[in-house]
């Protein structure tokens, strides 16, 4: 059977999208649960969490990470299908990067120039680059397994989007532990950690999701 014929058969099965959505929803829930368990058992909140809750910089980290998690998980539902373009969901993936850039621009305006580099380097870069990928393992694995129930026309892209979603989930938990709240730090290190997970998702997806 030709690939185009197979795609047509999958697209014609009206019950498949609903079943696949349920599988992906369960995968997301399981991924969040795994990441939460790893966080609360092995990492935990930062010691000054009560004081941090009153900081706009601290809270805005969650605006960014949750935006990534929501937009990427939304895109996963589409990437799993062979017959649908990402459309506005693909465009929405730019929301989190735009938020980071805007917040960093404001930070540059309010901080003295001699404070830019210290705030960007921070104190926890190595933990950021380690813990976000670590916390993302569970969500990424769950999403990749669920995506095998679909028929993504671009396996690498589907895996990369799963990596973005897993990164958003992981970064949301990690942000509660990280005591570097400057948007400059977030702009420098969170995307790099996300890139690691996204690249892993892409490479694994190319092999695992091929059909």
Q: Give the whole-number percent of the chain exceeding pLDDT 90.
A: 77
* pTM for the structure as a whole: 0.90
Read off the pLDDT band of 14 (50, 70, 90). very low
Over residues 16-65, the pLDDT tens digits come to 666 888 999 999 999 999 999 999 999 999 999 999 999 999 999 999 99
User: Concatenated DSSP letters for 111-143?
Assistant: S-GGGHHHHHH-S-HHHHHHHHHHHHHHHHHHH
| Average confidence score pLDDT of the chain | 90
Q: How far apart are the C-alpha atoms of 37 and 34, rounded to whole Å?
A: 5
Distance of CA 142 to CAs 22, 28, 139, Å? Answer: 13, 7, 5
The tally of CA atoms less than 13 A away on the side-chain side of residue 45 is 8
Q: Going by C-beta distance under 8 Å and a sequence separation of 6 or more, which residues neighbour residue 60?
A: 99, 103, 183
Q: Is the pLDDT of residue 177 over 50?
A: yes
pLDDT in tens, 81-132: 877 788 888 899 999 999 999 999 999 999 999 999 999 999 999 999 999 9
Specify whether the CB–CB gap between 164 and 196 falls below 8 A. Answer: no
Q: Which of 173, 137, 6, 143 is nearest to 72 (CA)?
A: 143
pLDDT for 190 equals 97
pLDDT at 211 over 80: no
- The pLDDT of residue 87: 85
Q: Could you tell me if 59 and 53 are in contact, meaning their C-beta atoms sit under 8 angstroms apart? A: yes
């Amino acid at each position: 059977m030709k690939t185009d014929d197979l795609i047509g058969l999958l697209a014609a099965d009206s019950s498949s999208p609903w079943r696949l959505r349920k599988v992906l929803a369960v995968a997301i829930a399981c991924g969040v649960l795994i990441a939460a368990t790893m966080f609360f058992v092995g990492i935990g909140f930062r010691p000054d969490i009560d004081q941090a809750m009153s900081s706009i910089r601290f809270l805005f980290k969650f605006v960014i990470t949750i935006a990534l998690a929501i937009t990427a998980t939304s895109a996963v539902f589409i990437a799993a299908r062979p017959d649908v373009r990402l459309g506005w969901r693909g465009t929405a993936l730019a929301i989190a990067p735009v938020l980071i850039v805007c917040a960093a621009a404001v930070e540059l305006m309010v901080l003295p120039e001699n404070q830019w580099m210290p705030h960007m380097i921070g104190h926890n870069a190595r933990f950021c680059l380690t813990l976000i990928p670590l916390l993302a393992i569970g969500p990424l694995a769950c999403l990749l397994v669920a995506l095998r129930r679909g028929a993504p026309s671009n396996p690498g892209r589907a895996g990369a989007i799963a990596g973005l979603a897993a990164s958003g989930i992981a970064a949301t938990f990690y942000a509660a532990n990280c005591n570097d709240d400057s948007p400059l730090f977030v702009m420098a290190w969170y995307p790099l950690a996300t890139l690691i997970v996204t690249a892993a998702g892409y490479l694994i997806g190319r092999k695992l999701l091929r059909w």
